């Protein structure tokens, strides 16, 4: 089974694909990623579900942000008469010459101006829409709909308890394109502290009014006890904090683009299968030897698995005899903090 993100790794870094397979369960989701998940669940199941998830994940302070973002999204959909009538739609595409499949989830399907559109919901601190028309994830959704039905994913179990996937309520959609909706969060960088421990008054530090006010109270207990310059900056923030926005792009793909995408997917699924087979039969270290990577410094810095990756590269001989289990990886994570 190949997903868009695993194939994306096949293009950029096969090492990352292997390390994520081996160590994924030890990686804790960042708060930003968890908030993205909660935002999606709230769109599908309602705000009560979102608040419950915030509580469960110790993020209840984000409740006002979540409510504000959902209200903004709802207002946009109602104003523009966009009716999202399906959520979280699963697809599986057969790949020629293998039992493997290409699979994924589409955030939603909407009726707009008498036509069906797929919907992609994103949240970001700053919404950058410049590359949406080239976005391969969007292409993968449209390709999926051109090939197969989509529906709700269900697991069924045979007599031996072995699970298999079924698509419930399958529906064949012929979307004209994707409505890509990015909901901006508020500025949320940490309040900057100077070396002497005082609170910065730099206008470009990117923190919110609410966070800045809280930092003052944490440090001085009351606003009255804070230095004048700090209070001036708080007032400036109140007047100048940019309002978060919703950015929307309607994007389509030509038949030619979808055909080319299908050919590329086909090759990558075969390639991924070969690499995974090596991993399962010969182990991580042997598979890593066969993994191509063509990474940039930026890409590696953003990678969740960089600590393990560098360590594996530098300590090959030492590690060859060791069992690379979770404990090993957690040790690496702590060192990196």
Strands (E), 196-265: 246-251
To ligand SF4, the closest distance from the beta carbon of 231 in angstroms equals 44
Cβ partners under 8 Å of residue 304, min gap 6: 20, 27
Residue with smaller CB distance to ligand SF4, 19 or 127: 19
* Chain positions contacting ligand SF4, by CB under 6 A: 13, 15-16, 19, 293, 295, 299-300, 303, 305-306, 309
To ligand SF4, the closest distance from the beta carbon of 37 in angstroms equals 22
Residue with smaller CB distance to ligand SF4, 46 or 331: 331
Between the alpha carbon of residue 67 and those of residues 33, 243, 268, the distances in Å are 17, 15, 40
To ligand SF4, the closest distance from the beta carbon of 295 in angstroms equals 4
Between the alpha carbon of residue 128 and those of residues 32, 182, 248, the distances in Å are 17, 8, 10
To ligand SF4, the closest distance from the beta carbon of 17 in angstroms equals 8
Contact (CB, 8 A) for 191 and 131: no
CA distance 151 to 293: 35
Of 228, 179, 2, nearest in space to 76 by CA: 179
CA torsion sign for 254, 255, 257, 261 is positive
Residue with smaller CB distance to ligand SF4, 8 or 214: 8
Residue with smaller CB distance to ligand SF4, 8 or 152: 8
Pairing of strands 178-184, 115-124: parallel
Neighbours of 158 (CB within 10 A): 8
To ligand SF4, the closest distance from the beta carbon of 322 in angstroms equals 19
Residue with smaller CB distance to ligand SF4, 198 or 336: 336
Residue with smaller CB distance to ligand SF4, 4 or 305: 305
Q: Helix axis angle, 255-282 relative to 4-12, nearest 10°? A: 80
To ligand SF4, the closest distance from the beta carbon of 9 in angstroms equals 8
């Amino acid at each position: 089974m190949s997903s868009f993100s695993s194939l994306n790794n096949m293009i950029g870094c096969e090492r990352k694909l292997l390390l994520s397979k081996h160590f994924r369960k030890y990686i804790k989701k960042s708060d930003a990623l968890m908030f993205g998940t909660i935002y999606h669940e709230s769109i599908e199941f309602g705000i009560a579900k979102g608040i419950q998830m915030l509580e469960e994940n110790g993020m209840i302070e984000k409740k006002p942000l979540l409510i504000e973002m959902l209200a903004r999204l709802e207002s946009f959909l109602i104003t523009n008469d966009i009716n999202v009538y399906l959520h979280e739609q699963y697809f599986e595409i057969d790949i020629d010459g293998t039992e493997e499949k290409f699979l994924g989830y589409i955030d939603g399907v909407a009726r707009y101006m008498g036509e069906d559109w797929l919907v992609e919901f994103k949240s970001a601190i700053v919404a950058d829409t410049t590359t949406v028309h080239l976005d391969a994830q969007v292409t993968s959704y449209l390709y999926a709909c051109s090939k197969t039905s989509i529906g709700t994913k269900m697991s069924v179990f045979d007599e031996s308890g072995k699970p298999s996937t079924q698509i419930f309520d399958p529906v064949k959609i012929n979307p004209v394109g994707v409505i890509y909706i990015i909901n901006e969060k508020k500025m949320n960088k940490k309040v900057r502290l100077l070396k002497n421990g005082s609170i910065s008054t730099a206008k470009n530090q990117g923190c919110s009014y609410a966070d800045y006010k809280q930092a003052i109270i944490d440090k001085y207990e009351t606003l009255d006890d804070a230095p004048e310059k700090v209070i001036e900056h708080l007032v400036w923030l109140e007047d100048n904090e940019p309002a978060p926005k919703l950015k929307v792009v309607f994007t389509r793909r030509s038949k030619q683009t979808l055909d080319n995408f299908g050919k590329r997917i086909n090759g990558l699924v075969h390639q991924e299968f070969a690499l995974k087979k090596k991993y399962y039969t010969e182990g991580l270290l042997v598979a890593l030897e066969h993994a191509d990577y063509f990474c940039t410094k930026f890409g590696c810095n953003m990678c969740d698995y960089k600590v393990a990756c560098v360590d594996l590269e530098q300590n090959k001989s030492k590690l060859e005899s060791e069992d690379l289990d979770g404990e090993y990886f957690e040790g690496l994570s702590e060192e990196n903090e």
